[in-house]
Amino acid sequence: MTTSKSKYTKLIKAYAKNLGFMSCGISKADFLEEEAPRLEQWLNQNHQGKMTYMNNHFDKRLDPRILVPGAKSVVSLLLNYYTNDTQEDPDAPKISKYAFGRDYHSVIKDKLKAFMKYIHSEIGEVDGRVFVDSAPVMDKAWAKKSGLGWIGKNTNLISKKTGSFFFIAELIIDLELEYDHPTTDHCGNCTACIDACPTEALIAPYKIDGSKCISYLTIELKDQIPSEFKGKMDKWVFGCDACQTVCPWNRFSKQNNEASFDSNRELLTLNKKDWEEMTEEVFETLFQNSAVKRTKHEGLKRNIKFISNL
For 18, what's the count of Cα atoms within 13 Å in the CB-facing half-sphere? 10
Catalytic residue (choose from 133, 174, 234, 262): 133
The reply to whether 59 belongs to the active site is no
Q: How many Å apart are CA 186 and CA 122, to the nearest integer?
A: 38
Active site residues: 133
